[in-house]
Amino acid sequence: MSKPHVAVLPSPGLGHVTPLLELAKRLVTQFDLHVTVLVVTSTIPSPALSQLLHSPALPADLDVVELPPVDAAALVTDEMQLLTQLAVMVEHSLNASLKSVLLEIGTPKALIIDIFCTQAFDICKPLSIPVYSFFTASVALMTFSLYLPTMDREIDGEFVDLPEPVAVPGCTPIRTADLLDQVKDRTNDEYRWYLHHVGRLPEAAGIFLNSWEGIEPVSIKSLTEHPFYRGIPIPEIFPVGPLIKQVECTAETDAELINWLDEQPSKSVLFVALGSGGTFTSAQLTELAWGLELSEQRFVLVARFPWDRSASAAYFNAGSGGGEEDGPARYLPEGFVERTKGRGVVVASWAPQIAVLGHVATGGFLSHCGWNSTLESVSSGVPMIAWPLYAEQRMNATILEEEVGVAVKMAAAAGDGAAAVVGREEIERVVRLVMEGEKGKEMREKARLLKESAAKAVSGGGGSSESMAKVAEGWKK
């Protein structure tokens, strides 16, 4: 008898593909389903994404099918903001080929889509394929997103100009400074795309959340109990997180890094990385390097090639190295690599984040606070220095500092826009605070408890495991 067949459809970008691929792997290995991951491809190469999707470690009953590539150069321009580029590519790809590909793979029992793939609702309806949504970000962002259509109808002007924080039903109010980038200017296409996609969340047969009650109890409870969400109404929610990479491909240079970590004292190393897409400006990377040097702490610095125009410059081509062929010494302060040798390791572009965060020597994580990196950090019991760059990362940083208690936010940068820079003295202060101070010890203990909570949630009988089992058993019937 053939296994029930389910398809999974992430939107482009490593941060969206990673958790949906992890969900697919769990459905195969834990619930004996056959899963096909459908990949929206473009003409922009991403070595890290290719490595992830074609890993020899993928289970036998997990197929990866790439949709015919879309010509990114013909569809998007550099002037378009990140979400607009992504949404345009996804819409073109799905309208051109999703129906035929679903029929080719044998009309699956269900399709699980990323938040930015809602065209699938219209394509799957005549095929009688139920569509589930997977929300890749925090539940706090999802509650805000479900409230956004109401805000759009009832509020005039820009949300960032509101005199009070946004009172999301049943949740902690969100300061206007922490609102995600996509809703800060209601006149641009990015806002319209975001509103369009989140406005379709109620159409899903169910919604998977990459979270669990141990980290977001208030937001999860509000979704199931608050009259606002029940009145929309929203479909059943399934907290299944934290879904993070369990294994990752490593290179020879990674082995050298792990060997170096093996020689360092427990909890003594600060890991500095900005996720798959984050970049600093040249001026900020210089100040960061000086701050690390002044702090006199051990560190691993993932020094991605700086970009002065965009903080998300590496989003679509993660792992490609753009400009890094000559090594990071070229765009770091002169002599920095030599002066910190032995105490610090500088890596160009990419590091095995799961392995570094899980290493006993790692005692802190300077992070952009993307949701995947956040889950990886707390699942490893590592406290964070929060340095949000784009999207909803400011919101995540505030929650991690003020509600969860496992992060301290870097002070706001001085200056405006691209010229805003956090100075080396502030960086030194915060690094010492987390790595040496009492505050760091308190955060480390909270992170340790959260690590236990995360492991319990996804283990047999845990809340997230049971949530996933409930859906999987339904598909089997």
The residues carrying an active-site annotation are: 16, 114
If one counts every other C-beta atom within 10 angstroms of the C-beta of residue 26, the result is 21
**C-alpha distances in angstroms, 443 versus 384, 406, 426, 434?**
8, 5, 19, 8
Q: Which helix (H) or strand (E) holds 172?
A: none
Rounded Cα distance between 374 and 154, Å, is 33
What 3-state class would DSSP assign to 114? Answer: strand
30 contacts 3 by C-beta, under 8 angstroms: no
Closest by CA position to 352, among listed 369, 376, 370, 328: 376
Q: Which two tokens stand for residue 266?
A: 């427990």
**Length of the chain in terms of residues written:** 477
Rounded Cα distance between 21 and 16, Å, is 9
7 contacts 13 by C-beta, under 8 angstroms: no
If one counts every other C-beta atom within 10 angstroms of the C-beta of residue 230, the result is 11
Q: Which of 76-82's residues contact partners 24+ apart within 8 Å by CB, and which partners? A: 80/189, 81/188, 81/189, 81/190, 82/190, 82/310, 82/312, 82/315, 82/390, 82/391
Q: Which two tokens stand for residue 437?
A: 């101070």
Which residue is it, tokens 């997230």? 464
**C-alpha distances in angstroms, 20 versus 132, 168, 462, 471?**
12, 27, 20, 15
The DSSP string of 5-66 is EEEEEPPSSHHHHHHHHHHHHHHHHHH--EEEEEE--BSS--HHHHHHHT-TTS-TTEEEEE
SS3 content of the chain, % helix, strand, coil (to 5): 45, 15, 40
Rounded Cα distance between 361 and 219, Å, is 33
